[in-house]
Structures are given as C-alpha cells and as structure tokens.
C-alpha cells in the first residue's frame, strides 16, 4: 500500500516570503504521478502542480515549483512571493499508474498554510 | 460548465435516513472516484467506478454504503441509515484513462443531526 506523509500540520509566513511544504511518500512501484492540491475555505480541491515520476526535471507553474527527489521519495512544494490568496490547506497526493488504468489518489493529511499580511 | 458537477452541495439528514449524493463527471470521462473528507483530515479513497462497473471499493464501509455509475446518468453514492459519524464532505473526481490526473467536483457536505 502507498502512504503519503506531510509532517507540517500548520505553517505561517509573511506575505511575499518564500515557503516550502514537505511531503514524503512510500511505494515500491516505479510508475506514478505526484500532485499538490490546494483547498481554500471554499473547500474546492484545486490542482496546483503535478509531477510524473519518470521525469527528472522538477515541475514549475508560475510561483509554484517542486523539489522531486525520487530516491528519497520526497516531493516538496515551494511557493515563491507568497500572496494572501495562497492561504489554504495543501494536500500532497500520489497516484499509481497501473497497466489496467489509474487507481485512486492517496492523500497526505494536509498542511494548513497561513499567509500573514 | 464542463467540470465535475456534484449535487447537492449541502445535505442535512437525521439519523436513520438515507443520503444520496450525485456526481456528473467531466465530459468524455468514464472513470469516477469518490472520496470522503472528515474534519481536519485529508481525503480518503472510497470507491472507483467505470460505467456500470465497480472497479475498486476497498475504501467503502462494508455496510450501509453503496455506489453506482449507470450507463446513463450521474454516479450515485448512497448512504443508508445515516449516523452522525457519516457527517463529512464527499468529493467526486473523474478522469480519462491514462491521463493520471483527477478533476474534482466541489464536494457535497453531509450533516447528520
């Protein structure tokens, strides 16, 4: 079974600072995707960024980037120039891509990120 | 709106009643997943369905919970004889085979009085 661990229940930074959210996962498989989802107070799940395990290059989406260390099974999210609208719960998620189709996502317990003005 | 549609957004039930939650996947998606989110926790996988088939229901409680995804119409998550512990947000997600990305609906919040 796959597991995803987020060791920071809550983080708080000042607006415009850079913050890094950590995530580790455990799997014996080689073919999978990793995601960071954002859940603002509206509770909608919004995809922030995605990384294919076979790609060595770290994914980047504007102010969001990841540090993917496959051997260490680590997948941290860096948010640069943080904004008040970044305040949300952030969930790290893992999905195994099997030959017969995609299985469900496994989520971490989340990190509550608070951006202070 | 071509996204994943869930309804109702909010549902209140008394203990012992039935709750039905609906999910219409994104256009062209034939894979549907249901997740439950308890307060202060991440999402927990419940069931994975394709049209007319349950592929993986390893996360579903053995009793009172059922899910279907008929040939026509939305996917339904049904909870019979609800109890207070069923109060949670229930999220539906859909995918296109091989895409590796799930698209989520806005969730249905069930409150059991």
Q: Is A71 exposed, middle or buried (0-12, 13-18, 19+ CB in 10 A)?
A: exposed
- Note the pLDDT of residue A101: 42
The tens digit of pLDDT for each residue in B63-98 reads 999 999 998 999 999 999 999 999 999 999 998 865
Nearest neighbour of B42 by CB, restricted to A46, A91, A102: A91
Contacts of A42 in chain B (CB under 8 A): 106
Q: Is A56 exposed, middle or buried (0-12, 13-18, 19+ CB in 10 A)?
A: exposed
Contacts of A97 in chain B (CB under 8 A): 98, 100
User: What part of A 30-49 touches B (C-beta under 8 Å)?
Assistant: 33, 35, 37, 42-47
pLDDT at A103 over 70: no
Mean pLDDT, chain A, rounded, equals 89
Q: Does B38 touch chain A (CB under 8 A)?
A: no
Q: Does A76 touch chain B (CB under 8 A)?
A: no
Q: Is the CB of residue B59 less than 8 Å from the CB of residue B43? A: no
CA separation for the pair A64, A71 (Å, rounded): 22
CA separation for the pair A90, A69 (Å, rounded): 19
Nearest neighbour of A108 by CB, restricted to B33, B35, B42: B42
Whether B101 sits inside 8 A of A44 (CB atoms) is: no
pLDDT band at B100 (very low <50, low <70, confident <90, very high): low
Q: Which residues face A52 on adjacent strands?
A: A33
- Note the pLDDT of residue A106: 84
What the block records as the tokens of A10 is 């809550």
Tell me: cis bond preceding B8? Omega within 30 of 0 counts: yes
The tens digit of pLDDT for each residue in A31-74 reads 888 999 998 887 778 889 999 898 889 999 999 999 999 999 99
- Mean pLDDT, to the nearest integer, of A68-90? 96
pLDDT band at B45 (very low <50, low <70, confident <90, very high): confident
- Note the pLDDT of residue A41: 81
B42, B60, B96, B106: best to mutate for the A interface, most A CBs within 10 A: B42
Q: Does A78 touch chain B (CB under 8 A)?
A: no
pLDDT at A99 over 50: no
């Amino acid at each position: 079974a796959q597991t995803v661990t987020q060791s920071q229940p809550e983080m708080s930074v000042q607006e415009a600072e850079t913050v890094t959210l950590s995530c580790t996962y455990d799997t014996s498989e080689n073919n999978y995707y990793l995601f960071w989802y954002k859940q603002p107070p509206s509770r909608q799940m919004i995809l922030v960024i995605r990384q294919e395990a076979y790609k060595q290059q770290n994914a980047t989406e504007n102010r969001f980037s990841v540090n993917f260390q496959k051997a260490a099974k680590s997948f941290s999210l860096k948010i640069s120039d943080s904004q008040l609208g970044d305040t949300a719960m952030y969930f790290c998620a893992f999905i195994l891509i099997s030959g017969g189709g995609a299985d469900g996502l496994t989520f971490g317990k989340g990190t509550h990120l608070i951006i202070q003005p | 709106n071509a996204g994943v549609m869930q309804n109702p957004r909010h549902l209140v039930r008394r203990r012992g009643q039935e709750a039905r939650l609906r999910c219409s996947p994104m256009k062209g998606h034939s894979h549907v997943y249901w997740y439950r989110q308890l307060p202060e926790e991440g999402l927990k996988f419940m069931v994975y369905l394709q049209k007319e088939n349950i592929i993986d229901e390893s996360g579903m409680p053995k009793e009172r919970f059922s899910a279907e995804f008929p040939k026509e119409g939305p996917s339904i998550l049904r909870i019979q004889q609800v109890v207070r512990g069923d109060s949670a947000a229930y999220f539906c997600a859909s995918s296109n085979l091989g895409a590796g990305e799930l698209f989520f609906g806005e969730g249905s919040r069930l409150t059991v009085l």
